[in-house]
Structure 1
Amino acid sequence: MSPPALIAVAHGTRDPAGAAAVRQLLDTVGRLRPGSRVEVGHLDLLRPSLYDVLARRRDDVVLVPLLLGAGYHVHTDIPAVVAAAGCRTARVSAALGPDPLLATVLSDRLTEAGWSGAREDGAVVLAAAGSTDQGANADTLRMARLLQTRLGCPVTAGYLCAASPTPAEAVAALRARGHREVAVARYLLAPGFFAQRASASGACLTSPPLGAHEAVARLVLRRYDEVLG
């Protein structure tokens, strides 16, 4: 029997660049695992919706949330869609983050943006979407610690909605502590509304979203394999 299809669960965005980044990521997943069946289902804004993808399935599938923390979408939205679609064969993986592989990606994106690495007056703000779910915000704090270990400089979390501090507040606080060179690392999968908001924090530079980095694709496959166990 062929292995279950991998259904990547994307949030959805009106930004064409964001949708393209998700497609490129899944193309990379397919390239890393030739012969695999990889599809995408969206929670909002774009088609196909996750409901539409699941409603027509009668085979085993593994859902991999393209989400960076275990917040409302993971705990509530995805199980609700699975139940509504009547897809009893669907299994759901953990969210992508936090994970050391993402620290690698964040470090690479900072380097691409011109970050020169650890220095005495350097620091980084990890700009995440933010959530009303405190567990998701705690995941962001864990990711900040992983990135701090990777970079060797202070890393603090900033939230673009629903939590504090904001990235701009976090940048200002680090500068008040004597860090003149403060960068913002966008802890976001793809371009979109939050990615645009993260660029207005007053940092010396802002790195691109994670995007279709090969390490993100490897992490998607790791989450899939963890479910199959």
Structure 2
Amino acid sequence: MTEFDSSTLVLVAHGSRDPRALATVRELVERVRELRPLLDVRLAHIELNEPLLGDVLDGLGHGRRAVLVPLLLSRGYHVKRDLPRAAEAARHLVTRVADPLGPHPLLVDALHDRLVESGWDGQGGVVLAASGSRDPDARVDTRRTAGRLAERLGVPVVPAYASGGGAGVAAALRDLAGQGCHQYALASYFTAPGRFATEAADAFGDGPVAAPLGAHPGVARLVLHRHDRALLSPVRPARQLAPA
């Protein structure tokens, strides 16, 4: 057993009323376990699904090292506030909060693969549909992913947001049309199926619609990468993990 196997990785999903979301994150947990069989990997949710994060942390033994890896694609309220507060409340543990999954090149690889699976032929522009947030850092992160995906694909990529007040899918399509694009594809920048992914696909219309990232092998590797990096970082009081 290595140092990286001696902690508990708590994969923290948001939670969804869509049963496909829970099935998807459970599949991802199993893929992470397959990659690191000696590591204790648990699934927790911020809301809507059980087990909830607080209950998972309460169930871990006193003095255990726990790394919370958010199954979230950008910075925002949950990463900056909810997870650090949960870590601070679990005073019987030595807890670290990892960075969100995005942005990262492995997500770009996964987005590319999902687009190819959808039948995308490499032509025209791509709408990068994301959940959205009112936190400006979250939009910075999504735009960074859109830029990296555009470099990878060699076509224009415009982000669209399902919430948080950002431009939606229709606005992104107009933007692409203004850039001279006449064919479009939708890249689903969501960790699992759910309401936002469905709404984005419904608003898109004709053209290839990629599946959410789901249990893509690159996402599983990225979860472990975030865990390992967090485990090597100095332990700080949980209140310092959430920037003002």
Q: TM-score, normalised by structure 2?
A: 0.89
Distance 1:37 1:154, change over 3 A: same
Give the alignment partner of residue 11 of structure 1, picking from 11, 14, 17: 14
Per the alignment, residue 238 of structure 2 pairs with none
Q: CA offsets per residue over residues 154-208 of structure 1, 9 Å max, x none?
A: 1111111113211121012212432111111010000011111110223522110
For residues 27-58 of structure 1, what are the alpha-carbon distances to aligned partners after superposition, in whole Å with 9 as ceiling and x for unaligned? Answer: 00000111211001100001110000112322
Moved over 4 A (4+): none
Q: Does 1:61 align with 2:66?
A: yes
**Matching residue within 103, 108, 111 for 1:98:** 103
Q: Mapping of 1:63-212 within 5 angstroms?
A: 63-117=68-122, 119=123, 122-199=124-201, 200-212=203-215
The answer to whether structure 1 residue 217 and structure 2 residue 220 are counterparts is: yes
Q: Which amino acid aligns with 2:231?
A: L
For structure 1, the residue ranges without an aligned partner over 5 or more in a row are: none
Whether the 8 Å contact between 1:128 and 1:187 is mirrored in structure 2 is yes
On the 8 A contact 1:171/1:202 being kept in 2, the answer is no
Equivalenced residue count is 226
Per-residue CA deviations over 1:12-41 (Å, capped at 9, x if unaligned) read 011111100000011000001112110011
Return the alpha-carbon distance in structure 2 between the equivalents of residues 63 and 203 of structure 1: 39
SS at match of 2:145: helix
The one-letter amino acid of 1:207's match is A
CA distance in structure 1 between the partners assigned to 2:206 and 2:101 by the alignment: 26
CA distance in 2, matches of 1:96, 1:142: 13
1:87 CA drift (Å): 4.6
Question: Percentage identity across aligned positions?
Answer: 47
Query: What is the one-letter code of the residue matched to 2:72?
Result: L
Q: Distance in 1 between matches of 2:109 and 2:87?
A: 32
What's the RMSD between the two structures over aligned residues? 1.3
User: What is the distance in 1 between the residues matched to 2:25 and 2:76?
Assistant: 20
Q: Is the 8 A contact 2:129 2:161 kept in 1?
A: yes
Moved more, 175-184 or 25-34: 175-184
| Partner Cα distance (2:200, 2:169) in 1 | 7
